[in-house]
Structure 1
Amino acid sequence: MADLFDKFDPAIAEVLALSGNRAANPVGIVMDEVHSPTEATINGRPTILAGTYNYMGLTFHPEVIAAGQQALAQFGSGTTGSRVLNGTYSGHKALERTLADFYGVAHAMVFSTGYQANLGICSTLVGKGEYILLDADSHASIYDGCALGTADIVRFKHNDPADLDKRLGRLPADAGKLVVVEGVYSMLGDVGRLTELCAVARRHGAMILDDEAHAMGFFGAHGRGVFEEQGADVDFVVGTFSKSVGTVGGFCVSNHPKFEILRLLCRPYVFTASLPPSVVATARRAIELIATACADKRAQLWRATKRLHGGLIDLGFRLGTDKPESAIVAILMPDQETTIAAWTRLLEAGVYVNMARPPATPAGMYLLRMSVCAEHSDAQVAAILRLCFRARARGRGRGARRRVNVAGSS
């Protein structure tokens, strides 16, 4: 009799290769305690957090915590219903108004996760006989949204307006089309060429969805994202509360006059319990702070990012971008074994970073990926640089010829 788990044997082998006999598994980290946006205890050791996407460092902000506590006491722990049943509380509508005001648009729709926002909008907005054109390096949630829907899928080369133009030109002129782009691409931290890509899409009559998950809060005059900074003309902005906002949830905002019908048609919105009132309250307060009181945080985030990126370059590391384009700093690695070894040495030394590998990474890359937080102090950035240098030296010192490039040095 066939075992339904037999097909997972290659994945099981990969997990065993990742974990081995190590005290910590790169895909199974447990935070014993979290002390601040940049500090935790992992495996009993004090650890600098350099891989959490907590860009604005708002997770411990006293006003954010107080807002969540008040909502928890007033409305209880959860809604036990979807947004189209009993799961819309006054806080959900207030959060959507805050989002609409923040983005300067008429409509905002809040989802229970950022993943569901892309899943729902991509699968619902574009249907049979229509086309989604997506960047080859798009996030998994975008690909999954395309797979859930019925539209024809066309990929274009990463960040390549000319290739997008060519592919749009091959499609029927009267067919509905949606071009999906991202403000910041999460693996290498490179910024989308939104102005050019949007201009191409407009020439072909396509609508544009822009995912600003990794740019909200610190790109643009108001912190809306890369599209604001570049002045790009987009129809829909998708984002998440699990990065700069510091909690969980997702959203889509738009000025389209028919946008509200999506609330009744979007399955990941209709058939999911809504966010707990305490989460909604923390998200709303964090967005209000981003809009009105985070100028110093943005400046510190960019200072720390430039210092970390420049310091790693000076130490001889190969990075995903030649200059600091975003708060994501990715060290290029030669292979899985070297990546795991370097990741382990860094964690043992007291720095947590992300290990990224295929199929999540573009072109089969292996990465040690860091995300800078506005709360990272100069001393912490200096410590990260020092410990990266030591981790590489330790790898070289073990004498294995194939590990000369430990931690991705050139």
Structure 2
Amino acid sequence: MSISDRFAELAHIRDSLGAVEADPSRIVMEKILSPTEALIAGKRTILVGTNNYLGLTFEPELLDAACAAMHEQGSGTTGSRMANGSFAGHAALERDFAEFYDVPSAMIFSTGYQTNLGLLMAILRPGDKVVLDSHSHACIYDGCRISGADFLAFRHNDPEDLRKRLRRLGGDAEGALVIAEGLYSMLGDIAPLADLCAVAKEYGAWFMVDEAHSFGVYGERGLGLCEEAGILDQVDFITGTFSKSLASLGGFCVSRHPEMQLLRYGSRPYIFTASSSPANIAAADAALRAIRTRPEIKDKLWANANRLYDGLKGLGYELASTVSPVIAVRVPSKEEGARLWNALLDEGVYVNLVLPPAAPDSAALLRCSLSAAHSFEQIDAILSAFKAASAGSDRAVGASAH
């Protein structure tokens, strides 16, 4: 088989978008102007697809902390923590996460993807049982596959289907691992975590929650949907990323089990990946302080989310879920999605174009992620762009979801 044959499927995906003017793989942001704007093809463009939920990427405190750390400690660590040792910032950030969650154990990883991969590869063995939400992120599926565990999916956000799956495991349900996310990043819907946790504990299973898109956004203190659901003392592992609300690069895992520290001796992504740079760690720690001390940022994010959600619903767009910082617009086909995405880009608005299989339920999505840094004027400009885009297609809009 030739190299071309190996890549034929990917070439087909690329070519299927060839009829449209541009696709996301060819977009270059020539200059980032602010947390909410960039130059694309020379045009000032509003960014509504960056996951910059709290808008902290240009926050002076973060930039100053990152610059100071780089000047004092260099541009990178050049090795893993097991090989080269931990910098003081790594240990301090882990203490800060543990204190924020009021747990004995916290670990940080070099990326959010590696956090789930590293946790699952270390705690699972071939033959272990995992029951995960069918909409789980790719890194969760990948971690389960690499571990050799036996895993099966329960119907998305369905506690009764989870119960059915655990019941079928019989005695193997005790000690199984149940995995859910807080806020699902594609459709923007939230999990019924309290109900899922109750089912897991009923069968003696562990419960893990990925709060990548919900940390800093939900909960009175910004700890995520586990806090909002009142189950922080029952969840066994909580993971998250620095690349969303924390405006940096890396990931974290916290646990109420002190034994989690032993993962350092068995998590291959932790052991064999260079540790996060001083600048990334300092920026994440400064962002964590902002979450802890400035709740008004979260309030602004929710005001923006409500304004855009209500506006899109008023325009007749079909929305994939109730209001959240992720607002996904369903479109009839991937071709229609690509055309609408280009129309929005022409209007100076960048959103995420999500096509199957990345989009759940075989839907094509125009995915918007709101930021606390968006102004109401920008939200209104985004709505005007959606209105103009829909005018160019009689299939762009449908009945709004309620």
The 5-angstrom pairing of residues 136-147 of structure 1 reads: 136-147=134-145
1:27 is paired with a residue whose SS is helix
- 1:6 and 2:9 are equivalent in the alignment: no
What RMSD over aligned residues (CA atoms) do the two structures have, in Å? 1.3
Q: Which deviates more from structure 2 when the two are superposed, residues 277-286 or residues 97-106?
A: 97-106
CA distance in 2, matches of 1:54, 1:178: 30
Question: For residue 107 of structure 2, what is the amino acid of its counterpart?
Answer: M
Contact kept in structure 2, 1:346 and 1:388, CA below 8 Å: yes
What is the count of residue pairs matched by the alignment?
Answer: 397
2:258 is paired with a residue whose SS is coil
- 1:301 and 2:291 are equivalent in the alignment: no
Aligned to 1:282: 283
- 1:182 and 2:181 are equivalent in the alignment: yes
CA distance in 1, matches of 2:26, 2:358: 16
The 5-angstrom pairing of residues 58-77 of structure 1 reads: 58-77=56-75
CA distance in 1, matches of 2:86, 2:195: 39
Query: Runs of 4+ in structure 1 displaced over 3 angstroms?
Result: 407-410
1:32 is paired with a residue whose SS is strand
Q: Which deviates more from structure 2 when the two are superposed, residues 25-34 or residues 364-373?
A: 25-34
Q: Point out where structure 2 has 5 or more consecutive residues left out of the alignment.
A: none
Contact kept in structure 1, 2:162 and 2:196, CA below 8 Å: yes
1:406 is paired with a residue whose SS is coil
Aligned to 2:164: 166
Question: For residue 175 of structure 2, what is the amino acid of its counterpart?
Answer: G
CA distance in 2, matches of 1:108, 1:379: 40
Deviation at 1:408, TM superposition (A): 5.3
Structure 2 length-normalised TM: 0.96
Aligned to 1:99: 97
- 1:253 and 2:254 are equivalent in the alignment: yes
Aligned to 2:271: 270
Aligned to 1:213: 212
Once the two structures are superposed, what CA deviation does each residue of 1:333-379 show, in whole Å capped at 9, x if it has no partner?
10011100000010111000000011111111100000000011110
- 1:16 and 2:15 are equivalent in the alignment: yes
2:83 is paired with a residue whose SS is coil
Deviation at 1:20, TM superposition (A): 4.1
Aligned to 1:351: 349
Question: For residue 379 of structure 1, what is the amino acid of its counterpart?
Answer: E
Once the two structures are superposed, what CA deviation does each residue of 1:8-66 show, in whole Å capped at 9, x if it has no partner?
212102112224462x3223321111111111111100000011000000000000000
2:198 is paired with a residue whose SS is helix
Question: For residue 218 of structure 1, what is the amino acid of its counterpart?
Answer: V
Aligned to 1:360: 358
- 1:406 and 2:396 are equivalent in the alignment: yes
Aligned to 1:375: 373
Deviation at 1:235, TM superposition (A): 0.8
Contact kept in structure 2, 1:339 and 1:368, CA below 8 Å: yes
2:81 is paired with a residue whose SS is coil
Q: Point out where structure 1 has 5 or more consecutive residues left out of the alignment.
A: 396-403
Aligned to 1:110: 108
* Corresponding residue to 2:149 among 136, 151, 166: 151
Deviation at 1:87, TM superposition (A): 4.5
Aligned to 2:319: 319
* Corresponding residue to 2:35 among 34, 37, 40: 37
Name the CA shift for 1:203/1:21 in 2 (closer, same or farther; >3 Å).
closer
CA distance in 2, matches of 1:21, 1:223: 40
Name the CA shift for 1:180/1:317 in 2 (closer, same or farther; >3 Å).
same
Aligned to 2:238: 237
- 1:333 and 2:323 are equivalent in the alignment: no
CA distance in 2, matches of 1:19, 1:374: 35
Once the two structures are superposed, what CA deviation does each residue of 1:219-259 show, in whole Å capped at 9, x if it has no partner?
00110100100112311100000000011111110121211
Aligned to 1:398: none
Contact kept in structure 1, 2:317 and 2:396, CA below 8 Å: no
Deviation at 1:103, TM superposition (A): 1.5
Contact kept in structure 1, 2:20 and 2:338, CA below 8 Å: no
Contact kept in structure 2, 1:79 and 1:87, CA below 8 Å: no
CA distance in 1, matches of 2:376, 2:102: 35
CA distance in 1, matches of 2:45, 2:389: 15
Contact kept in structure 2, 1:56 and 1:375, CA below 8 Å: yes
